[in-house]
Homo-oligomer: A and B are copies of this chain.
Amino acid sequence: MNHILKGTLDGQSVKLDASTRETLYDTSFYGRPMDNYLELTLIEAAYLTYKNRVIVTREDKDLDFEDLMCESSRREGNFEVKYIVYKDLRERGYFIKPGVTDFRVYPRGGKPGKTPSKYFIHVLSERQPVPLTDLVHQVRTAASVRKELVMAVVDEESDITYYGASLRTMKGDMRPASTDTAIRATLLEDRVMVWDSHSSDLLHKHHLFGKPLDETRLQLSLVEAAYLQEKNIIEITDSLGEQPLTPVEFSDTSTTVETGFPIKLAVYRTLRDAGMVVKTGYKFGNHFRVYKKVDASVGMKHSEFLVHALDSDHVFSLPQLSRAVRLANSVRKQMVFAWQSGNNIVFLELGRMKM
């Protein structure tokens, strides 16, 4: 079994004699058995060359590993990066087949023909921009055949980080706030003040809106104020205290202060309406930190999620995405991105995976 098998480079693949099937495919699942031959992908061929199990010839000349790498990288885009990921997963004991998103990977202990594959692996170089729509398309493709999408991001030093990506729903256990008469509040530049202590307590202590300025007064953020105004819980005037602002006027002012205000508010509304507590995520570099439930008598402890609102045409840069996920994980939170699709807000969870 340890003698070296010969293969022939042919376009984007390498062909071996049908007799090699037993050694390469039946036990180790390399290649694809065809009627009269076994076909290896260039990546499989490079890996088997590195393992000294195959030697590839081109025009009757033997190619060493270096020759084959150079040849392959001219024939297939992203070759080296895919090779690095393939090698890593093989050496971790996974069986791997080519697939719509680069690779299909079988679960630990599973194998082709016996078990269904578990992951769709999408290989990316750190420098590739990743449009949100493409990523979501791949997550949906994987989910439609019950696979998990895994992004394998190769950094410039060829270290690999695996990210699991999945769509999810967001749901909490808080009761909605309500009042008999609207609470008076004032817009001061880019925040809103509630002046009396009874209303401040109701909003802050019972429903976890805003932050106390002092013992009496409460400060609301613009999204909080807009949400409470929509629900007729507060009435907002400007600093001259004349006519209350309409929701449209308030939203327009807020959008001047903060360009992304409409999508931020839409995400905030969806999360609050789903019974979650939503506070600013500024300290974590994201729009929101989100709690499933907060016991008002105990106060806010550990939030489960960081949520960042995106435009639906957003394009991720992978270093930026890496930073967001890394930071969320380092504080034991899940990183969730949110955007508008039709009338709905869609939530995408991204987390580092240990393969």
Which of A's residues lie within 8 Å of B, judged by CB? 50, 65-66, 69-71, 73-74, 77-81, 84, 87, 125-127, 155-159, 161, 186, 188-191, 193, 195, 210-211, 213-214, 217, 219, 221-223, 239-241, 257-258, 279-280, 282-286, 318-320, 322-324, 326-327, 330-331
Contact = CB atoms under 8 A, between A and B. Distances in A.
Given A221-B156, A222-B156, A241-B70, A191 B284 contact: no
B327 A239 contact: no
Contact of A66 (B65, B81, B195, B324): B195
A240 B70 contact: yes
B159 A257 contact: no
Contacts of A78: 189
A320 B65 CA distance: 43
26 contacts: A65-B217, A66-B186, A69-B188, A69-B193, A70-B186, A71-B239, A74-B240, A80-B193, A81-B190, A126-B282, A127-B257, A156-B191, A157-B210, A157-B211, A158-B219, A161-B283, A283-B322, A285-B320, A285-B327, A286-B319, A286-B323, A323-B324, A326-B327, A327-B330, A330-B330, A330-B331
B69 A155 contact: no
Nearest to A320: B285
A106 B349 CA distance: 46
Contact of A157 (B155, B195, B279): B279
A125 B330 CA distance: 26
Given A69-B239, A285-B326, 14 more contacts: A50-B214, A70-B240, A73-B189, A74-B240, A81-B190, A156-B190, A156-B221, A156-B282, A159-B282, A161-B282, A282-B319, A283-B326, A323-B327, A326-B327
Nearest to A308: B319
A80 B191 contact: yes
Nearest to A223: B156
A188 B74 CA distance: 9
A158 B221 CA distance: 8
A155 B125 contact: no
Which 10 residue pairs of A and B lie closest in terms of their CB atoms, listed nearest first? A285-B323, A155-B282, A70-B239, A156-B221, A157-B280, A73-B188, A327-B327, A330-B330, A158-B219, A157-B211
A294 to B, nearest CB: 14
Contacts of A318: 282
A127 B186 CA distance: 20
A132 to B, nearest CB: 18
Nearest to A241: B70
A157 B219 contact: yes
Given A66-B186, A66-B195, A257-B127, A155 B326 contact: no
Nearest to A67: B241
A159 B280 contact: yes
B73 A155 contact: no
Contacts of A331: 330
